[in-house]
């Protein structure tokens, strides 16, 4: 079955371009505002929209994304509304969507049902931050879910044997964490990105996208030159936080992100 993520990377490979993956938290600062931001990012040329599922205990996130989840939850965002948001986005846009989430909201919803409903709504992939992929095989209820590509995380400290295991079961793309720690643009990407990406690509043909700490066009261009894609999250979310009360919020986010997208596409 064709999947927008796979189609996107096939197109990018043919054009020798890197992907730009833009992260926002669904429902931040409100349902309607986040929908318009997602549309504006797609219109600006983002190849994949990564929608964060707001959760009360996002332990892998830095303060910027933690506050985004808090704002979204206070605004009444829920998993059911997330499904509505995806469906509404799909009435106008075909950009691939990856859900960035923790296991708790998915499990509470119903693991298999979440996958079925999200895929039916128009989502294409899922990144479960706190579910070790090798644990899935040990839990029968986690093996029957279909419809979404499962994105895997690889960090600079991942041992070779585990890297090979993660690469073997990777789907859609691999999210390579540029440095240790939580999400956030307060630290620049690691200088060893090229080596990290090369070590992953030695194990798989699955595209490798790099995230954590990318906040400028210069950084985006550097990462794009060494990988198959660039993930920008906290820097975009910070724009949402700083301009949440402005009527032209989606336009502000688009204008901030466009130079990063252009830098990603203009790699040598």
Active site residue 135: no
Is 212 within 8 Å of 177 (Cβ atoms)?
yes
Q: Which helix (H) or strand (E) holds 20?
A: strand 19-25
Which is catalytic among the residues 6, 17, 50, 222? Answer: 50
* Cβ neighbours for 107, distance < 8 A, ≥ 6 positions apart: none
Active site residue 94: no
Cα 10-160-181 angle, rounded to 5 deg = 80
DSSP 232-256: E-HHHHHHHHHTTT-TTHHHHHHHH
Q: In what order do the strands lie in the sheet with 19-25?
A: 149-150, 125-128, 96-101, 48-52, 19-25, 229-232, 208-211, 174-177, 152-154
Q: Which residues of 14-31 are buried (b: 16+ CB within 10 A; e: fewer)?
A: eeebbbbbbbbbbbbbbb
d(CA 105, CA 114): 9
Is 172 within 8 Å of 150 (Cβ atoms)?
yes
DSSP 36-93: HHHHHHHHHT-SEEEEE---S--TTS-HHHHHHHHHHHHTT--HHHHHHHHHHHHTT-
> 53: which 2 tokens?
């599922």
Which is catalytic among the residues 6, 17, 36, 61? Answer: 61
The residues carrying an active-site annotation are 50, 61
């Amino acid at each position: 079955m064709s999947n927008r993520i796979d189609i996107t990377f096939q197109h990018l490979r043919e054009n020798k371009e890197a992907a730009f993956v833009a992260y926002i938290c669904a429902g931040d600062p409100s349902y309607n505002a986040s929908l318009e931001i997602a549309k504006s990012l797609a219109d600006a040329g983002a190849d994949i929209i990564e929608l964060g599922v707001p959760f009360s205990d996002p332990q892998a996130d830095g303060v910027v994304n933690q506050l985004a989840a808090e704002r979204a939850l206070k605004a009444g965002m829920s998993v059911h509304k997330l499904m509505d948001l995806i469906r509404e986005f799909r009435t106008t846009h075909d950009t691939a969507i990856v859900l960035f989430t923790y296991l708790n909201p998915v499990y509470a919803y119903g693991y298999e049902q979440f996958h079925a409903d999200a895929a039916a709504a128009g989502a294409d992939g899922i990144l479960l931050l706190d579910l070790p992929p090798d644990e899935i095989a040990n839990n029968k209820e986690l093996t029957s879910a279909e419809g979404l590509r499962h994105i895997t995380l690889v960090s600079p400290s991942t041992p070779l044997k585990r890297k090979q295991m993660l690469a073997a079961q990777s789907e859609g793309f691999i999210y390579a964490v540029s440095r240790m720690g939580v999400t956030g643009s307060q630290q620049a990407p690691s200088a060893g990105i090229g080596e990290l990406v090369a070590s992953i690509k030695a194990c798989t043909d699955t595209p490798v996208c790099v995230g954590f700490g990318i906040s400028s066009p210069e950084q985006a261009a550097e990462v794009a030159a060494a990988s198959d894609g660039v993930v920008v999250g906290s820097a975009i979310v910070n724009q949402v936080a700083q301009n949440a009360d402005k009527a032209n919020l989606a336009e502000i986010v688009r204008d901030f992100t466009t130079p990063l997208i252009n830098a990603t596409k203009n790699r040598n």
